[in-house]
Structure 1
């Protein structure tokens, strides 16, 4: 009997060790996918802003201020009705991705994620027309440090954060509604309030999503269900990517220096 218990304990310990090693590899995959998505967004945003903004008056379709102008392309995506399509395209794609994830292969889901990241780069390229490049970089670094700390806490904490989910989701829905309404109101005070609340909500979501990604892996690994985990890693990367992007854009309202 003692020998059986020893063997069983060894098996359980080996299984636990395998889950721990698998979890580390899984989290590395999630953060790796998220990082690639961020690079795609940054590259797309920078490239598109380079086509949209010029200092050459002969190429100007409209003046931004000082010696900076919008090209015809910039006017089309920032000032024409097309801007509404560009603004809401990432939101449409993220809902479509959530609806289609179960029918997509892992490769197709990953490609969809990168397409979404590109669309987000197009949607965010306007920040180069409004804020200085230095303040954009500074805000990005502040966001990266805050995100890393929050995600690490979410991964390591023994506190159960699952109860935050409903509250944070309601907060996100409220932010979306308030942001759409303020597009028409154009209130600076309301925008600052939305940004302050948005930073807090997505800070909480960063920790919550990290713990949820970790718990999802452990639950499926213990059941031996590894087939679904490939797409789960992509969904996890998407969630953390959205947390980072939203926290960055809301912080930019406070830390960004306008041109």
Structure 2
């Protein structure tokens, strides 16, 4: 009888440990992601402060807004293509290098990527009003939190969404590159609407995947793997947030 009674206690203890570990793991994921978002915001704001001026220059972009020489070089010269595509290159490089990096190295790489992303996104301060950017950011934050909570709490298996959503992302990238040369407003509107839907789905999908991956590996006690997993999870959710924000900004942002 005594042996029988020890079984549920052991099972309950193990479950409680996994639940506690999962909460700590998710907090770490959101914490790393939040630091990355802060770095991106600060980098974008700092670069925009150097690139945009109210003092008249040869590069007028608004009724009383001008580009500095630095801003013109960054956003109107061929350098803009480097700034635009460098974060995408870093994402692929990160995926290829993650197994070779230490957890500390991977986290440093992620923060460097977040800073570069901020430089890449700094142009939005030259196009959209500051109030508009803040409003869309808050809308994105609320939507992201709701979708991530759904992915974490739902009992429904949404893993089947993965392949469909990734195909959608590839399609968005191709369509966006093509539309750089076409300059079609209708195509851009369609890309923005689909982009919001795709990255909304990815937010829920990635959250559930992070949770399931932790549960599947928690019993092995591989602290290095869990640390890297948290960083990769933070990167995925960071990208979901940034892309959803940008597509919403294109849809609802007020231009200068």
Instruction: Select which of 173, 176, 186 maps to 1:176.
Output: 173
What is the match of residue 161 of structure 1?
158
Per-residue CA distance 1:193-231 (angstroms, 9 max, x = gap): 000000000000000000000001111113333331000
What is the match of residue 196 of structure 2?
199
Does 2:235 align with 1:238? yes
Shift of 1:5: 2.4
State how far apart, in whole Å, the 1-side matches of 2:140 and 2:227 are.
Answer: 27
Per-residue CA distance 1:7-48 (angstroms, 9 max, x = gap): 122111101100000000000000000000000000000010
Does 2:91 align with 1:94? yes
State how far apart, in whole Å, the 1-side matches of 2:82 and 2:27 are.
Answer: 34
Does 2:109 align with 1:128? no
Does 2:208 align with 1:211? yes
Does 2:66 align with 1:69? yes
Shift of 1:3: 2.1
SS of residue in 2 equivalent to 1:258: coil
Question: 1:155·1:207 contact (CA, 8 Å) conserved in 2?
Answer: yes
Unaligned runs of 5+ in 2: none
What is the TM-score when the length of structure 2 is the normalising length? 0.99
What is the TM-score when the length of structure 1 is the normalising length? 0.97
> How many aligned residue pairs are there?
256
State how far apart, in whole Å, the 1-side matches of 2:149 and 2:5 are.
Answer: 35
Question: 2:87·2:117 contact (CA, 8 Å) conserved in 1?
Answer: yes
Question: 1:61·1:75 contact (CA, 8 Å) conserved in 2?
Answer: no
Consecutive aligned runs of 4 or more in structure 1 exceeding 2 Å deviation:
222-227
Unaligned runs of 5+ in 1: none
Say which is worse superposed, 5-14 or 74-83, in terms of deviation. 5-14
State how far apart, in whole Å, the 2-side matches of 1:115 and 1:161 are.
Answer: 32
